[in-house]
């Protein structure tokens, strides 16, 4: 077949060397990933400190000079707090948390940060809590860097968000906690700063039905997930090593095609398209995040992966079509496969629109989540 001329012109010895080299590289990558690189991500659970809202200071923080007074977890175990005081409580998370008496800070090698909330709500006889409750969160995200003063927090984002809280209680025992689902809070596509501070208020307004019927909120936990710096370094160095080799293979392949006394056939052009998509995917632009704040990296990574998978799927569709129609001597082009490629294009466009609705909106508001409401969830599922 014309599309296989380049490989067919290789001798058996050269083809054996090529395949052996590819298998060796694949095995080396598996060994590096399993023996050298750490796990891709790390998680940490942080218990919220309850601070009283201080109008003289826009931030409530729990470490350093000027820190707030932190209430104990059982502040309203026996005497529930009235709504007026509940509105003044600020749930505070200062991350990363100290470990073994040492103050830690985030590294730009850790790339991204995801925050998820878990609520500890006590069941009390006589208090009825809806299973699927809409909870309103008044949130603020701040940051500071090494060398800044303890209270020199700068505003990163603030928003009033609504989330669906699904809680069940299998055993109706007084004082036991409801089993509540996790609630997404924020997602940062770039860890450019050293310290982060999250302030959350859960206001109660019986008249307007805001957080009314929430129950006895005992504690709030924040689950933070970040990419491991060690994994990032191994991943980027491997991309840096493979990138020039892929470019060299593309140049060699295209030169061999042009040495033939004919124009490049469709399969050869599709192979070059895959090579270009793979080169774009392996381009180690993540090194720039070590010097510049690039919050759009998650969106860019999704777009690059989408281009690669679209090119790969298109290639296999055309490859299968070329071999199924081997008896057809007619010159093929992209128009021959327009029905199949249209399906790929529709799928890719749908995923791109979904990604822009989710990650694109998070560039302005990291607290935004398309999954937060039933309408957003239905819209996201329709795109997927």
pLDDT band at 374 (very low <50, low <70, confident <90, very high): low
20 torsion bin: left (phi>0), alpha (psi -120 to 50), beta (else)? alpha
pLDDT band with cut points at 50, 70 and 90 for residue 172: confident
Closest CA to 225 of 40, 43, 39: 43
Q: What are the φ/ψ torsions at residue 339 (nearest 5 degrees)?
A: -65, -45
**Percent of the chain whose predicted confidence (pLDDT) is above 70:** 88
Residue 159 backbone phi and psi in degrees, to 5: -165, 155
- Distance CA(177)–CA(120), nearest Å, equals 6
pLDDT given for residue 73 in this prediction: 60
| Per-residue pLDDT band at 2 (split at 50, 70, 90) | very low
Interval 97-110 mean pLDDT: 90
pLDDT above 50: residue 1? no
Mean pLDDT of 235-253: 91
Task: Specify the residue for token string 């942080």.
Answer: 46
Q: Which range is most confident: 118-132, 218-232, 342-356?
A: 218-232
CB 111 within 8 A of CB 190: yes
pLDDT of the residue at 108: 93
SS3 133: strand
Please state which of the ranges 6-20, 92-106, 220-234, 237-251 shows the lowest mean pLDDT: 6-20
> Comparing C-alpha atoms, which of 346, 284, 276 is closest to residue 312?
276
Q: Average pLDDT, whole number, for the chain?
A: 84
Structure tokens at 124: 């009390």
The predicted pLDDT at position 329 comes to: 52
Quick check: 355 pLDDT over 90? Answer: no
- Check residue 231 and give its pLDDT: 93
Q: Taking residues 346-361, what's their average pLDDT?
A: 88
Least confident stretch, 84-93, 109-118, 340-349, 360-369: 84-93
Q: Is 81 helix (H, G, I), strand (E, B) or coil?
A: coil
Torsion of CA 184, 186, 187, 190, to 10 degrees: -160
Q: 191 burial class (0-12, 13-18, 19+ CB within 10 angstroms)?
A: buried
Higher pLDDT, 262 or 99: 99
């Amino acid at each position: 077949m014309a599309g296989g001329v380049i490989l067919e012109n290789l001798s058996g010895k050269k083809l054996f060397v090529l395949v052996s080299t590819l298998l060796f590289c694949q095995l080396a990558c598996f060994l590096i990933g399993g023996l050298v690189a750490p796990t891709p991500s790390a998680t940490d659970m942080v218990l919220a400190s309850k601070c009283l809202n201080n109008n003289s200071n826009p931030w409530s923080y729990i470490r350093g000079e000027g820190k707030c007074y932190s209430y104990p977890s059982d502040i309203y175990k026996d005497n529930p707090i009235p709504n007026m005081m509940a509105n003044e409580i600020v749930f505070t998370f200062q991350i990363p948390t100290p470990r073994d008496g040492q103050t830690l800070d985030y590294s730009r090698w850790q790339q991204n940060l995801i925050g998820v909330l878990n609520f500890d709500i006590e069941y009390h006889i006589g208090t009825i809590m809806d299973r699927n409750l809409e909870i309103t969160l008044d949130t603020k995200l701040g940051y500071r860097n090494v060398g800044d003063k303890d209270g020199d927090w700068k505003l990163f984002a603030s928003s009033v968000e609504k989330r669906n809280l699904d809680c069940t209680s299998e055993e109706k025992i007084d004082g036991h906690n409801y089993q509540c689902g996790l609630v997404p809070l924020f997602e940062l596509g770039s860890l450019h700063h050293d310290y982060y501070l999250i302030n959350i208020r859960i206001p109660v307004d019986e008249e307007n039905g805001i957080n009314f019927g929430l129950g006895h909120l005992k504690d709030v936990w924040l689950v933070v997930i970040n990419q491991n710096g060690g994994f990032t370094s191994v991943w980027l160095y491997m991309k840096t090593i493979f990138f020039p080799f892929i470019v060299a293979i593309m140049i060699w392949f295209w030169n061999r095609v042009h040495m033939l006394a004919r124009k490049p056939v469709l399969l050869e052009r599709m192979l070059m398209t895959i090579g270009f998509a793979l080169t774009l995917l392996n381009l180690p632009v993540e090194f720039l995040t070590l010097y510049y704040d690039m919050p759009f990296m998650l969106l860019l990574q999704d777009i690059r992966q989408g281009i690669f998978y679209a090119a790969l799927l298109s290639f296999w569709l055309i490859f299968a079509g070329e071999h199924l129609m081997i008896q057809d001597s007619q010159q093929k082009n992209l128009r021959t496969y327009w029905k199949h490629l249209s399906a790929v294009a529709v799928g890719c466009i749908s995923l791109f629109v979904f990604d822009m609705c989710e990650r694109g909106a998070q560039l302005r508001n990291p607290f935004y989540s398309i999954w937060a409401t039933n309408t957003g969830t239905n819209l996201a599922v329709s795109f997927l």
